[in-house]
Chain A
Amino acid sequence: AQSVAQPEDQVNVAEGNPLTVKCTYSVSGNPYLFWYVQYPNRGLQFLLKYITGDNLVKGSYGFEAEFNKSQTSFHLKKPSALVSDSALYFCAVRDIGTSYGKLTFGQGTILTVHP
């Protein structure tokens, strides 16, 4: 079975400061890892993914994430937060061994960036 945990329901940060949204995962094999962002009443927008290769992954809108196999983590980061980054963020994992590409999502983290 695969699972994802986002330990923080909410993250608050001041504009211009760095932000981190945490994610840990559990899979039986090797993971595919994803971050998505959701704005109110909208679908999910893809931010970045880790499939293989460099542990530091760069994505859309200045976001990046670091894959840490020993800690089974994939934290989302941004050096300088913007008010427009305020949204709901989801981490998701797929076990490479699963059929049909089934994704498991974390419970989501509400990011609020204050002016």
Chain B
Amino acid sequence: GAVVSQHPSRVICKSGTSVKIECRSLDFQATTMFWYRQFPKQSLMLMATSNEGSKATYEQGVEKDKFLINHASLTLSTLTVTSAHPEDSSFYICSASGLWGRDNEQFFGPGTRLTVL
């Protein structure tokens, strides 16, 4: 139980285009989903926290118009990188919480490698 998937696993796009990354909780209802960004050999940086049906809460320094987060259902959250540029290239990881009896834990997706040319 507590499986989280991400799609796509890798994406390469041209500068100026937008990219959407999906995060799904496959076997539980995720009341809260988190989006992280990770640079090579560095730690995870929390970008935003989203609760189903409400606006995401962004961390300081994260541009909400650049990184659009939607959490329309209890099993799906999406991160859209708008007008992507090479500096947005990174590894993006989502996590989900809300598994009954283990609501203090986050369950992580496998990550999405974004490369902007």
Main secondary structure of the interface of B (DSSP, over half): strand
Q: Give the total of A residues in contact with B, Cβ under 8 Å.
A: 24
B111: chain A residues within 8 A (beta carbon): 41-43
9-residue interface stretch from B12-20, B43-51, B76-84: B43-51
B81-117 interface bits toward A, Cβ cutoff 8 Å, 1 = contact, 0 = none: 0000000000101010100000111111111010000
Q: Kindly state the interface size class of chain B when it binds its partner.
A: 20 to 34
Contacts A43-B110, A100-B49, A102-B49 known; A51 to B42 CB distance under 8 Å?
Answer: no
Residues of A within 8 A of B (CB): 32, 34, 36, 41-46, 49, 51, 88, 90, 94, 100-108, 110
Residues of B within 8 A of A (CB): 4, 6, 32, 34, 41-44, 46, 49, 51, 57, 91, 93, 95, 97, 103-111, 113
